[in-house]
Amino acid sequence: MGTKVALVDQYGAFLGVKQGRFVLKVGKDTKWELSPVELDSIIIVTEGVSLSAAALSLASRFGVDLVFMRGDKPIARLIPYKYGTLMRNWALQLKLHESGGSLSLARCFLEGKLHNQRMVLLEYCRRLRGSGKDVGFLERKLDEVTSRLSELERADGVEALLSIEAHAAKSYWEAVARILPEDLGFDHRYTRSNPPPEGEPDPFNLALNVGYALLRKEVWRAVFLAGLNPYLGFLHKPRGSRPALVLDLMEEFRPISVDRPLIGLARTDKKTILDLKKSKDNAYRVVWSHVLKYMRESKPSHVELINSQARKLVLHLQGVQSYTPYRSRW
């Protein structure tokens, strides 16, 4: 599997195959031609795109992730035919969910998240202190996240866990706001359920949305490869088409796979982040590629870590070993 991401973002584009290579055309113009071994993903972000059966077959054969997105949200993807036979794990998920075994897993997901949030803040406390900056505020927020982390063990239900996580998130994002350049205008983490009062969020929030969309794609892939049901979660409630288990497994990796590289990008190349307000298509591609590169080139690779966590969850469901969250060492 390659590392390139091909973005299909023009109305009227056609994705086909020529001599074993993907070819994207708009009208008579060839926009790009790539071998499947070069590609990690083909991301389709606009409507009015058509694909040939040969392109679908080639993507499936080489494991190229073919994802359809609307805005920053994945709405569909290509799934190999053989996936439909893997039902045992789905039954184990349902059994654990119905037997009240969700709490321990939900706690693990948030233990991983808060630990990794703590590691991101600790990194910047050390960096800024080393450069002679006042880190008193960051240290207070770090202590608050650490305190919330210790509270998770005493939570007696999923709602209590989510309340603790929300308080930790407030402290964490207040610290991140202090780390970022002021002119990015970031002062709060906004989500679809908690949008900014003035309409469109600031550019760093937009960058986070792009990064989390990529993380969701990677976790979704790991869930499929492990033979798990993406819609039956333990921390996030199953609801309609919401991929609750994908959201569960994302939690541990949000701080280290997305927040950390984007904080670094914002501090060293804030123009790229600011451009999300101006040239969204190009900035979207740059942010997506930056986070993907970071995830793949980290040691160990975050993509492999995500796959490992999905496999550990399967072993937990099978009663082989207890699930443990991924805790970053730095």
Annotated binding-site positions:
165, 236, 251
Residue 124 neighbours by CB distance under 10 Å: 21
Cα angle at 148 between 146 and 151, to 5 degrees? 115
Q: Which residue has the tokens 């949030």?
A: 117
**Neighbouring residues of 186: CB distance < 8 A, sequence distance ≥ 6:** 176, 177, 180, 202, 204, 205
**Neighbouring residues of 198: CB distance < 8 A, sequence distance ≥ 6:** none
Q: Burial level of 99, CB count in 10 A (0-12/13-18/19+)?
A: exposed
> What is the C-alpha to C-alpha distance for residues 133 and 178, in angstroms, rounded to an integer?
12
Q: Which residue has the tokens 């550019």?
A: 203
Question: What are the CA-CA distances from residue 16 to residues 13, 43, 238, 255, 285 (Å)?
Answer: 10, 14, 37, 37, 22
Residue 65 three-state SS: strand
> What is the C-alpha to C-alpha distance for residues 91 and 105, in angstroms, rounded to an integer?
17
Query: The dihedral of CA 152, 218, 4, 189: what is its sign?
Result: negative
**Neighbouring residues of 53: CB distance < 8 A, sequence distance ≥ 6:** none
Question: What are the CA-CA distances from residue 96 to residues 156, 228, 247 (Å)?
Answer: 17, 13, 18
Known binding residues for Mn(2+):
165, 236, 251
Query: DSSP character for 235?
Result: S
Whether the link from the prior residue into 230 is cis, omega within 30° of 0, is no
